[in-house]
Structure 1
């Protein structure tokens, strides 16, 4: 027997389609606004100091943003599942120092360095992911603990020393300074990882399931989604990307100390949230996170060019983080209200 509250499947399909279109439109607008702010920032800084966009300035901007973009891509995959990874900065430092110590005085090439970095980072991500997904320990507690554990291991390995560029293979250093058709290798690697991750999240069922987990873990469980396995995979991916970022850090800077990338955790989270990935999970895109990372890096570079006190970089980053979280909350409320109105119609 059909009641007045029942709806035929034909009526539900357009409703879900409308909801999806509305949410997609909201976050496309978010990415467009970030892109517009980035263009205005670059243009305004260039007017104040034309050297900001000369060949060397543009190259430095691309190189400096590459590692942060990579970390933002990995972090966004975790955040969409309604979790967080605060250990990425320390993983970068550990990987960079370990790889530097391993290849010093050898002829190992950049491919070996990158593969080893991915492996080290994946192991760190596996530990964090297992504790979060299988042990059901809060992600904030686990990854904050991992941050200090990894840092401690890094300091123990360093013994107060550092890796010097003169001891590294030339092929590894060329990865950080070389280019193809005038485009540095590092941004090309970052864009490749970004494009592959975006394609996976949009095209493959397991990628879309990450969003379902972040939107409603209980609904995802009832739908038969393997939540623990997906969350574990997200952390392994984030760790692997952080390990790759550590390898690129070594190639980019050559000289590495034990506290390399210290404090980058909150910068990465800020880039992700500013880029439109909701801290509560379920929404956002890796392309938006990459734009957020590029915006924060450009702000940092602009402040240096304009000779502004570096303190303002942290203040601006914090303000953007608060603004982004507030904007996400407002968008969430308005989207929910709009969907309810459409449902009543």
Structure 2
């Protein structure tokens, strides 16, 4: 076999998530899910009205936007990058949706969703192309585009706001329609998480993202198109942020220039808490989605328990630090176990 052919074969082998990763993902997701169940149980015991039908519906609706954003952010973080512009992209897509309905009231809802997703994908592509071409940390680039996109939003919107009454009733009803008692847009958000999770784990392109996050230099040597994969991850993140912007418009009463401000840090927090390693290479979008639900549920639980809302940020910060420390400990234990196995084989 020639050297290039051998490298191609090695590239195919390296894209399979390592055994340690496959064994860690269910455990990490299960621990986050257990924390969510414990939070709900304790809150319900103290305040039984926490899980009344209206309360559950509000929790699901509040989690919808964060779940969609977290799924896209997880794809980027797995590649050892981060996208801080998702809040601004959501804001632009949300205001664009309101503007589209205002200027063309008869626009089909499917077209509105397509435009929002495409708009977000274009902005995500800008992020990815700059990151890969300039070879500058994504943290710096997306911090810059966060402000650029937000500036465009302020220049475009000014003091204008669009209200849900400006949109067709069918669009506004998306937030109240239910499927088996679950809000329709919440179902859509979790379907997105499941579909993206399957693509990420069972396709070569998805497995390449794990390989890139684990060791970008090794991924290049093994023939993985690192630049193209990273750009694709940013495009997907932007597209999902655009989708979240359209859903935001359907969910809330009004959109304006400041829509989505500050969401990016909460989304990164949800991803990290959901078990996606901030150093890349491990985690899953399902875990990120559960992390998003955990954070939104925690906010509702704090209100239900009559705890000062100012504790929310402190608790989120503690959860982030805890998640990073746990990930670090797991990585060290895994590395130590691999060394022991190598010594035994040798």
Could you say whether these structures have the same fold, taking a TM-score greater than 0.5 normalized by the shorter chain as the test? yes
Report whether the alignment pairs 1:127 with 2:126.
Answer: yes
Kindly indicate whether residue 96 of structure 2 is the aligned counterpart of residue 89 of structure 1: no
Distance 1:337 1:175 in 2: 51
- Contact in 2 for aligned 1:120/1:243 (Cα 8 Å): yes
Hey, what's the Cα distance between the residues in 2 that align with 1:39 and 1:109? 39
Paired with 1:168 and 1:237, the residues of 2 have a C-alpha distance of 27
**Which deviates more from structure 2 when the two are superposed, residues 266-275 or residues 160-169?**
160-169
Aligned residue pairs, count:
328
Q: How does 1:62-141 map to 2 (within 5 A)?
A: 62-104=60-102, 106-141=105-140
- Residue 7 of structure 1 is matched in structure 2 by none
Matched residues in 2 for 1:31 and 1:181: separation? 25
CA contact (8 A) 1:168 1:254 kept: no
Q: Does 1:49 align with 2:60?
A: no
d(CA) in 2 for partners of 1:256, 1:306:
30
1:202, 1:26 → 2: CA distance? 14
Structure 1 distance, partners of 2:77, 2:198, is 17
The Cα shift of 1:109 comes to 3.4
CA offset at residue 23 of structure 1? Answer: 3.1
Equivalents in 1 of 2:295, 2:167: separation in Å? 30
1:163–1:256 Cα contact (<8 Å) kept: yes
Give the equivalent residue in structure 2 for 1:229: 228
1:220 and 2:219 are equivalent in the alignment: yes
Deviation at 1:165, TM superposition (A): 1.8
**1:100 positional shift:** 0.5
Residue ranges of structure 2 left out of the alignment (5+ in a row): 1-13
- Displacement after TM superposition at 1:120 (Å): 1.0
Partners of 1:155 and 1:98 lie apart in 2 by 12
Give me the whole-angstrom Cα distance separating, in 2, the residues matched to 1:157 and 1:172: 23
Match of 1:292 in 2: 291
Partner deviation per Cα, 1:55-100 (whole Å, 9 max, x = no partner): 1111111111011011110000001111000000111111101110
Shift of 1:21: 3.4
1:319 paired to 2:325: no
TM-score (norm 2): 0.92
Tell me, which stretches of 5 or more residues in structure 1 are unaligned?
Answer: 1-15
Secondary structure class of the residue paired with 1:104 = helix
Using the TM superposition, give the Cα deviation of residue 118 of structure 1 relative to its aligned residue in structure 2, in angstroms. 0.2
The SS at the match of 2:18 is helix
Q: Could you tell me which residue of structure 2 aligns to residue 144 of structure 1?
A: 143
**1:30, 1:126 → 2: CA distance?**
30
**Equivalent residue of 1:276, what SS?**
coil
Question: Counterpart of 1:58 in 2: which secondary structure?
Answer: helix
Shift of 1:187: 1.3
Q: How far apart are 1:48 and its partner, in Å? A: 1.2
The question of 1:28 aligning with 2:34 is answered no
The CA deviation at 1:153 is 0.7
CA distance in 2, matches of 1:249, 1:136: 33
Deviation at 1:131, TM superposition (A): 0.1
1:23/1:335 contact within 8 Å kept:
no
Partners of 1:138 and 1:37 in 2: how far apart?
A: 33
Cα separation, 2, equivalents of 1:61 and 1:109? 29
User: Could you tell me whether the CA contact under 8 Å between 1:93 and 1:258 is conserved in 2?
Assistant: yes
Q: Please give the per-residue CA displacement for 1:127-150, whole angstroms capped at 9, x wherever unaligned.
A: 001001122222111100110011
2:323 and 2:141 map into 1 onto residues whose CA distance is 25
Q: Deviations over 1:9-54 (max 9, x none)?
A: xxxxxxx9xx933332233222111111111100111111111111
Report what 1:58 is aligned to: 56
What SS class does the counterpart of residue 254 from structure 2 fall into? Answer: coil
- Cα 1:29–1:120 change in 2 (3 A) is same
TM-score for the superposition, normalised by structure 1: 0.92
Is 2:180 aligned against 1:181? Answer: yes
1:255 and 2:254 are equivalent in the alignment: yes
**What does residue 337 of structure 1 align with?**
336
